Structure 1
């Protein structure tokens, strides 16, 4: 196993894409140990043969469709009415938009990239610093990855055999709390720097009702998914298929903004997105087999429980490890590789896997917003032409807010479990 770790670190240092790094270093294990390569091939194939996993490509396609149907533009309009009167109006708009996009894109990086293209130029024109813009837009992606339907939660549920419906419900309150925390941090910074407001006065009830009526088809989308899954109308995978049909019908026949040319571009982009995700999944399957064969979870569990027998300390040790490893590895990879390792430990000390899944997803996704290899960080900085060192400085207040919230959620599990326990029963 040691040579696999060495090969992994060397390939990572050479800046090889993570999927190739995982796949090549894992195959070395088979060559060195004399195991037949047929096992690796079988593991790669069987990792894709899962009905729940169909939710991932469906939601990726649905998110790309909705970005081309005018729904995103309408959500921006709704967000401006709700938060435009606040100090740092456009920054507040971006945070609320991230919360609304949680039920659409399900991807932190996709959300941050879209907002950087749409809101970034306008925020620069209004005098916001590029570092602040990049930090707000990137960190807002955490909300998207927490509020259902999150692709990361789907993968966690798939790998850990945890109810995806419960995970979706568990993400609602933490997602709302993240939104509030970011809005408070943004308001404090914006007031200090005297950033502009978009509207002179708070919205009237009539304005809110008008915008709500105009955007109701987009806003009720997450509610339809959650209710449908809870009452057995469809599974998570079927919900993804429904999301695709919903997005197509709304874009083509209601808003009439989805042309066939746009549809072709959406299918091309979705093919690329799904190809990348699935390649990571099949390579991670080989790595997971090696972990199980060498009893890595058992050894690691023994090491962690040897440090302390207190469940809360064990939880925070694991969360600290996830925070560090998230800085170096992509979030999807971490979910696929680390869930089988840490979930049994968490269960053994009495924590609910749904509770841990939300904590895992927040802190794991935040790795994409931190150096040295944060994908979301580099996406926003690249699109806004912002130096990463400036971004890092501006992101510190938001990172502090997230870490404080994680501590609260870890110490008070019922904040996370209240809705799923109420809906599904304890």
Structure 2
């Protein structure tokens, strides 16, 4: 049972690839690889033009943004072809084998259904965008927006070809079940509309929860729940959903995700990862939970470089996970620690969430940057204690002898050029040479030069195309989840849910203490459902004035809600960053379901400590 496949068993499993499937795969893979290379070249050339020749290219970011949506949609189509969209198989795996086969057909059918119903709205969206002109290039907005229907068509065709391998009886059963659900929703539409906000429970708890438990890919479960809610209870056209997905996937800061994914693969392929891990293992390998400490330190070091937790994880996990597996750590423990470390480091500057809070609430960005470091260090210490305790419970973790000093020194000298990579990246951001989005291209260039000239690693021309397509596929799976979550968050907002929730929180008894506690609970849920920045944009202007009236320092409140939101982002079953961690680590999501709660529980205790000791947040202001 794989981590991401949504067709675990079919009647055609093991059959040879049809020629049309091979052609369709090449139609997606080649352009996706070209776009990845183009993004790296465009951003790197932009850095050189601005930093070296003092002549910035005014259209570089605009072109990168246009290509980014194409990369996201081609990558998501490629993820459909490779069955790489994340799905939860924990509940499906408990079913009898025949039911598991049917569930696989249902999952693939659900993907096809959403792609089919969203295609016409996607074409309408392209038409709407044709009236928009890009300021620097002067291109029609339809050039960029066309990526959405093209990606949907390619993914739909790939999905249909997969469905043809399934048992015809299962296909008929899934079709009948789909028609029955659609008919029931149509018949109950007046009653659901009359329920008002209570209908949110039907769609975003009942329908969404059943879809996730049935093994439907997470992104498509989000999308189907949103589309079903809007079609059943509102007159809102699905073109709006397409637009919100576009907005969620297209944030230029997220371009760091595929670039850091590519950087991680390059670090591994050129041999840099091998020498870095060899040094870290010789230094801390004999210590119980030593490699866990290395992972936590690495997340603290790279956090804030990209502004994206997903990009941070993509930079760390590919380097450390192989060695940690060799030392006996289970996949569930690895992904749990990775996800918890992502939640831990939400406040490390220059976090994009800190910038978002400053922009919508007026809180000083300098104060937020100063305040964000100590809370993250406190939570890192909490996780280090948990990691040490968990390491003592791993029966298969063999003891490792302390390496002699001569070996540590030798591995350090060999690894020194590779170890400089994170410092080169951070220095480029701090010195203003590159933005958070661009900086990964400097890392890519540095890795190519150092890896090929110094380490002469295993990078071969034959490995370039697979590396680029893997980057596109992983990135597409991650970005499509973000887009689906953005659309769902918009639907929840339009229902009036956000204003009602803010009013309810303000009425909680207990003064400042009660408000802080209810804020923690609310932002854990909101982070899980809405994703980080949408939750801040929606609720920040509503809740920060209430906190000020209760005498809560605005910077302290910002730290509390950011960390609470981070817990929700990485908490299964709905936290999308948990699934991003699983995708990056190539670990089945069910592997971490039982183990992650220890880490998240201790993070919650650490957060409560930060909440009731305001000095941790504001002591250095």
Report the TM-score when normalising by structure 2.
0.53
Pick aligned residue for 1:135 from 333, 339, 353:
333
1:13 deviation in Å?
0.8
Q: Which residue in the other structure is 1:127 paired with?
A: none
Q: Which residue in the other structure is 1:266 paired with?
A: 467
Stretches of structure 2 lacking an aligned partner (at least 5 in a row): 1-196, 304-309, 549-553
After superposition, the C-alpha distances for 1:320-375 in whole angstroms (9 at most, x for unaligned) are 3454677xx58xx632553334433553314337624651464235414999x964
Conserved? CA contact 1:48–1:282, under 8 Å: yes
Between 110-119 and 221-230, report the one with greater CA deviation.
110-119
Paired with 2:355 and 2:541, the residues of 1 have a C-alpha distance of: 14
Paired with 2:376 and 2:282, the residues of 1 have a C-alpha distance of: 21
Q: Which residue in the other structure is 1:123 paired with?
A: 328
Conserved? CA contact 2:262–2:471, under 8 Å: yes
Q: Which residue in the other structure is 1:320 paired with?
A: 521
Aligned residues: 400
The residue correspondences of 1:291-302 to structure 2 (distance < 5 A) are 291-302=492-503
Q: CA 1:247–1:300 in 2, change beyond 3 Å: closer, same or farther?
A: farther
Pick aligned residue for 1:79 from 280, 288, 291:
280
- In the alignment, structure 1 residue 7 sits paired with structure 2 residue 187: no
Conserved? CA contact 2:582–2:588, under 8 Å: no
1:303 deviation in Å?
0.7
Paired with 1:151 and 1:269, the residues of 2 have a C-alpha distance of: 29
Paired with 2:317 and 2:601, the residues of 1 have a C-alpha distance of: 19
Q: Which residue in the other structure is 2:400 paired with?
A: 198
Q: CA 1:71–1:171 in 2, change beyond 3 Å: closer, same or farther?
A: farther
- In the alignment, structure 1 residue 253 sits paired with structure 2 residue 453: yes
Q: CA 1:262–1:416 in 2, change beyond 3 Å: closer, same or farther?
A: farther
Between 279-288 and 263-272, report the one with greater CA deviation.
279-288
Q: Which residue in the other structure is 1:287 paired with?
A: 488
Pick aligned residue for 2:223 from 23, 33, 55:
23
Secondary structure of the residue that 1:307 maps to in structure 2?
coil
- In the alignment, structure 1 residue 338 sits paired with structure 2 residue 535: yes
- In the alignment, structure 1 residue 367 sits paired with structure 2 residue 571: yes
Paired with 1:387 and 1:279, the residues of 2 have a C-alpha distance of: 22
Q: CA 1:79–1:249 in 2, change beyond 3 Å: closer, same or farther?
A: same
Q: Which residue in the other structure is 1:238 paired with?
A: 438
Conserved? CA contact 2:524–2:569, under 8 Å: no
After superposition, the C-alpha distances for 1:66-112 in whole angstroms (9 at most, x for unaligned) are 333333323322222332332x3xx3223313432662974558866
1:277 deviation in Å?
2.5
Q: Which residue in the other structure is 2:29 paired with?
A: none
1:198 deviation in Å?
1.6
1:4 deviation in Å?
4.6
Conserved? CA contact 1:65–1:263, under 8 Å: no
After superposition, the C-alpha distances for 1:153-172 in whole angstroms (9 at most, x for unaligned) are 54775698589999888665
- In the alignment, structure 1 residue 307 sits paired with structure 2 residue 521: no
Q: CA 1:12–1:45 in 2, change beyond 3 Å: closer, same or farther?
A: same
Paired with 2:273 and 2:280, the residues of 1 have a C-alpha distance of: 10
- In the alignment, structure 1 residue 215 sits paired with structure 2 residue 215: no
Q: Taking CA–CA contacts closer than 8 Å with sequence separation of 6 or more, which of the two structures ends up with the larger relative contact order?
A: 1
Paired with 2:297 and 2:420, the residues of 1 have a C-alpha distance of: 13
Conserved? CA contact 2:523–2:564, under 8 Å: yes
1:297 deviation in Å?
1.9
Secondary structure of the residue that 1:34 maps to in structure 2?
coil
Secondary structure of the residue that 1:53 maps to in structure 2?
helix
Q: CA 1:197–1:186 in 2, change beyond 3 Å: closer, same or farther?
A: farther
After superposition, the C-alpha distances for 1:275-306 in whole angstroms (9 at most, x for unaligned) are 12222233333333333333322211111111
Based on CA coordinates, which of the two structures has the bigger radius of gyration? 2
Stretches of structure 1 lacking an aligned partner (at least 5 in a row): 125-129
Paired with 1:154 and 1:18, the residues of 2 have a C-alpha distance of: 24
Paired with 1:170 and 1:106, the residues of 2 have a C-alpha distance of: 23
1:271 deviation in Å?
0.7
